[in-house]
Structure 1
Amino acid sequence: MKGPWQLVPLSFRHLLKKRSVSTMHKMKTHIVHVLADGVGGINGFLIPTWNELTLQLHREYFKAHDSCQDSVELMRQTQKQGLFQLQAAPDDDKRLLSVLITNHAKKV
């Protein structure tokens, strides 16, 4: 599975400094972990809204507010486009995380 951080358009990658790319990579990885915990963290288990996720990133990465907003926006776009996908469900009795995330994207 390609990571969402690899979905950044090539032209956008060239505009970022190496340090910014590293910070955004950390943020996007953190976002994916937050979404994966609690079956789509945005559903209200951990973080109810995208805005609260942005605020959490602002607290954790207080020197990189622009990168926080860019990371969350890229993840939101990725989610709306249905690009969060897993090859197979982790357990037979669990639905694919991508379906849960996509369903929540329709609600937000």
Structure 2
Amino acid sequence: METKKLKIGENTCFEILDLKRIEEIDPILLAGDELIISQWFGRYACSCFLFKARRKRLEINCSSDCYRGRLIFSEDNIDEIDDKDDQECAQFTINYINKLRKAGIIGKQLSV
């Protein structure tokens, strides 16, 4: 049986350990065998997240119509982000993935 994947953005996905529970979580949208995260943050409609877990660095890529660029941050340098809404967006994504991991809903990061 093929592994179910939580897809975040275009290039990153995680193994789904508990599909039944993840389908109940908002704001995840089920799209075939892959799950895509979408959420609103402040004045930005951030519709796409791109996660890179290497060396605790995490990259967010928001849709071009609502965001002026790309943030690269980690939990250690989140305070360096100037804009308060951007900080909230960054912190939400870190917390969200950590919450799913701790709950045993997602597992290891997979190659796309």
TM-score range, shorter chain: 0.3 to 0.5
- Relative to total residues, which structure has the larger helix share, 1 or 2? 1
Q: TM-score, normalised by structure 1?
A: 0.39
